[in-house]
Amino acid sequence: MRRRVRHTFSAGGIVLRDAMFGPDIVLVRRFAPAAGGSQSFLHGLWALPKGTPIAEEAPAETARREVEEETGLVVEVDRFAGSIQYQFTRDGVLFRKTVNFYLMHAVGGDFTRHDSEYDAVEWVPVDRALEQMTYSSEASLLRHILALPAPHTGKPDRASGRAAPPAQGAERAG
């Protein structure tokens, strides 16, 4: 008997901001039960916000909507950041999933407006986030994004992860 395989897709966001001691990133959290049944502050899931498209929604639209629902922030998409792939089995079906991520920045909103899918939403310093993120594939993508040279300058824009503006007088591709 052959196992059924289902290919699925999601999209999400890497929301960054400049902070005094380096960039911060938005992570969503789901607490895990600790010994004695209390909610553990340090354990549980730490992840990037993401979700499934609705109808004919474009991937960047899905990413923006899901980030806004799951975090309470109002965001703008800056650019495509990359994709991750993983697989899991549920009810005898092998799911092969691709998740497209987009770099974003917040333009409004606040965490008190996040939906109930997660217990908390936080701005986390990137260095700490890389240690705490549950999914290594998401952390690897973040490391890759922060190390990429910014377009037009050839230098990494580590502070925000966003493309640095072209230097004054630099030529623009027509």
**Token pair of 108, please?**
């409004």
Residues 145 and 64: their CA atoms lie apart, in Å, by 18
Residues 113 and 70: their CA atoms lie apart, in Å, by 8
The sign of the CA dihedral 113, 26, 119, 117 is positive
Q: Tens digit of pLDDT per residue, the chain (174 long)?
A: 677 999 999 999 999 999 998 899 999 998 876 555 544 455 688 999 999 999 899 999 999 999 999 999 999 999 999 999 999 999 999 999 999 999 999 999 999 888 888 889 999 999 999 999 999 999 999 999 998 655 444 444 444 444 333 333 333 233
Nearest to 132 by CA among 121, 124, 144, 143: 124
Residues 35 and 43: their CA atoms lie apart, in Å, by 11
Sequence letter at residue 19: A
**Token pair of 91, please?**
């009810």
The pLDDT tens digits of the residues spanning 63-111 come to 999 999 999 999 999 999 999 999 999 999 999 999 999 999 999 999 9
**Token pair of 86, please?**
């993983």
